Amino acid sequence: MSADLEERFRAEAETRDVEERRKGVRLALFASIPVCLLFTVINYFAVHYWLASVLFSTTLLLLLPSILLSASTCYITLAEYLLMFGAVLNFGALFIDGGISETGMYWIYVYPFVAFYIMGQNRGWLWISVFGAALLLCAGLHAYDEITLPYQEDRLTFFFTAFIFYALIASIFNMLRNNFEQKLTEQVRERTATAQVYLEELKHRMMHSQLTGLPNRGLLLDRLEQALNIARRNNTAIAVAVVNIDRLTEINNVLGHKAGDEVLKHTAKALQNALRDMDSVAHIGADEFAIIMPTVDANLVDIAIGRVMKVFNRPVEVAETSLEISAATGFSFFPEHGSDANELLQHADSAMRLAKKEQGNFRVYEASLNPFKLRHLELYRDLKKAVAEGELQLYYQPQINLETGKAVSCEALMRWTHPDEGFISPGEFIPLAEKTGLITELSRWALKEAIDQCARWQLAGHSVGVSVNLSCHCLTESDMIDRIVELLNSSGLEARQLTVEVTESLFMEQSEQVIDALTRLRETGVLVSIDDFGTGYSSLSYLKKLPVDELKIDQSFIFPMAKSKKDRMIVHAIVELGTSLGFEVIAEGVEDGATGKILKEIGVHKVQGFHYARPMPFDDFCFWIAADQLDGAKQSNGK
């Protein structure tokens, strides 16, 4: 356990101990004050005026002030002593007076339990010893006729024997209670330490490449923003480079993916060794690295290029083969080529792609030579046309309940078949739609299409829900929630059959607006799911505040599970976290039966992936779920 965690646990334990003492004192006071007042009234009418006056006085002067003091943890010790002093006086008065029918001595057997409960083991024995000594003194004075007690000597002997017996019983009971609490505390401490290790590992995995150990894109952007803040204050420059390794696909195909992984590991280590300590290297894609070089401007571009290029001067020994590795590198500079992290990284990437197209080693970004600006304009124009002319289509990928093996829901995935270019990846046109504002129009279309089509297969008797991805732009629109409710009402689809998926990072953007929108959405009965969980870097403690029903574990954790014990541990930790918070957990990207079996064993509720079914258009999906339910009915009849 780390020193910080140990110190925090110790501080929390002390705070918890004081709070438990405060609760114990208040509980004892709220129980004893009514009893004392009741005994006061009874003994008063039984003509035991002296006993009634003692009981009433201690209640008024000691017990009631203890309630006021126990309201604050600062005065809890004083409240304990006032309570115990009041107990000594009350029980002592009962012993001396005898009470009604000389039953006062029997109430004194309660005292040891009160002492141990309020004062603990060691201080409890001290108070019992003092009280017992006071009782013995009274008995001694009685024996010498100095005072008169309403008991025979044999009853006093029996009383003191019983008092010692009850004190021992109370002590044993208190020790057992303390031992149980200590064991429970140790278990909590051990589990907290284990959870801390898992969470630290999970946090590292979220922020770093699993293959090279370098920071990923999210951490790189965070570091670049920090570097930009320093550069703005000091009026200095920053160079950003994107490096793409040539022919990595060819290496994978010829020598295998293990050889390709070795090339990436070698490149990562070589880049780190070639650069300065103040520079940062990140692995941002399958064959791409990014570099942040503070204080390097366009005038020092030759130095920056030299640092990167010398990494590829020597061959790499892989699988008993010497490989000449080359790369295309693009550079952008702050402040000439951009003022924020995303813009600089995008421009460096554009320069790298231009260098690759020209079959060169490097390129510095020039806005006039950026071929992707024209591409984006053309794609934007065609995408608007595609929405109007119905070129877009929804494909559905089933989500399988691992307990029953049947489809219970599906994810709606947008597909675009361009009339000239054919299939265009969602990874290309979705980000463009988000940047240009078209995402709202696309999302409205996808919502209507998914809800209408889900209602159609529901009417056909297939109880399968649908999940739709929504962006931050859509959720924060003032009429989006009303729009969803209107679509559900017009289609006749039950709200619980619709799940809205939002990415983990979305909660860090306009979080108050997003959480408010999702809260209102859940109030309508629609379910909310966190998509790609594990790829963001928000605080995990923030999860308990989020209005969600489901966690969808990102496929990057699922792919290697069957062969990686660490990945299984990470997924297991996410499942336990989600389950403990009352979320349903779904895993995406399940490619084989072994992974599905592992997921079922560790408690994942639903799965989605090519092992079960690929995304398919509406008609094919309806046929698929009809066959799926027919198989389920046959199995039930067979049983």
pLDDT, the chain, mean: 85
Extents of the domains making up the chain: 3-192, 217-369, 396-414+439-638
Categorize the per-residue pLDDT at 459 as very low, low, confident or very high, splitting at 50, 70 and 90: very high
Least confident range of 490-499, 533-542, 550-559 = 533-542
Sign of CA dihedral 188, 191, 197, 198: negative
Categorize the per-residue pLDDT at 637 as very low, low, confident or very high, splitting at 50, 70 and 90: very low
- Of residues 636 and 561, which shows the higher confidence score? 561
What is the pLDDT, as a whole number, of residue 633? 46
What is the pLDDT, as a whole number, of residue 638? 43
Asked whether 343 and 373 are in contact (CB, 8 A), the reply is: no
Asked whether 42 and 78 are in contact (CB, 8 A), the reply is: no
Please write the tens of the pLDDT for every residue from 53-90. 988 999 899 888 988 888 887 888 898 889 889 888 98
Tell me: domain 396-414+439-638, CATH 3.30.70.640, correct?
A: no
- Of residues 70 and 411, which shows the higher confidence score? 411
Please write the tens of the pLDDT for every residue from 568-582. 888 888 888 888 888
Provide the phi-psi class of 358: left if phi over 0, else alpha when psi is between -120 and 50, else beta. Answer: alpha
Task: Report the C-alpha gap between 594 and 596 in whole angstroms.
Answer: 5
Asked whether 483 and 444 are in contact (CB, 8 A), the reply is: yes
What is the pLDDT, as a whole number, of residue 233? 92
514: pLDDT strictly greater than 50: yes
Q: What percent of the chain has pLDDT over 70?
A: 91
Task: Report the C-alpha gap between 90 and 18 in whole angstroms.
Answer: 26
Please write the tens of the pLDDT for every residue from 177-228. 888 878 887 887 788 778 778 888 888 888 888 889 999 998 999 999 999 9
**Structure tokens, 364:** 């510095």
Please write the tens of the pLDDT for every residue from 3-55. 565 666 567 767 777 888 888 888 888 888 898 898 889 888 888 888 889 88
Q: What is the mean pLDDT of residues 475-500?
A: 91
Sign of CA dihedral 73, 79, 84, 90: negative
Categorize the per-residue pLDDT at 96 as very low, low, confident or very high, splitting at 50, 70 and 90: confident
Give the DSSP H/E element, type plus range, for residue 393.
strand 392-401
Phi, psi of 401 (to 5 degrees): -75, 120
281: pLDDT strictly greater than 70: yes
What is the pLDDT, as a whole number, of residue 92? 87
What is the pLDDT, as a whole number, of residue 515? 81
Q: Mapped to the 3 state alphabet, what secondary structure does 401-439 carry?
A: ECCCCCEEEEEEEEEEEECCCEEECHHHHHHHHHHHCHH
Q: What is the mean pLDDT of residues 126-135?
A: 90
Burial class (CB in 10 A: 0-12, 13-18, 19+), 279: buried
Q: What is the mean pLDDT of residues 128-136?
A: 89
Pairing of strands 527-533, 498-503: parallel
What is the pLDDT, as a whole number, of residue 546? 79
Task: Report the C-alpha gap between 181 and 183 in whole angstroms.
Answer: 6
What is the pLDDT, as a whole number, of residue 23? 85
Categorize the per-residue pLDDT at 636 as very low, low, confident or very high, splitting at 50, 70 and 90: very low
Phi, psi of 474 (to 5 degrees): -75, -45
What is the pLDDT, as a whole number, of residue 634? 46
Q: What is the mean pLDDT of residues 439-465?
A: 92
Protein fold of 217-369: Alpha-Beta Plaits (3.30.70)
Q: What percent of the chain has pLDDT over 90?
A: 28
- Of residues 139 and 541, which shows the higher confidence score? 139
Least confident range of 50-54, 165-169, 421-425, 469-473 = 469-473
Least confident range of 101-115, 436-450, 519-533, 585-599 = 101-115
504: pLDDT strictly greater than 70: no
Categorize the per-residue pLDDT at 161 as very low, low, confident or very high, splitting at 50, 70 and 90: confident
508: pLDDT strictly greater than 60: no
What is the pLDDT, as a whole number, of residue 355? 87
DSSP symbol at 208: B
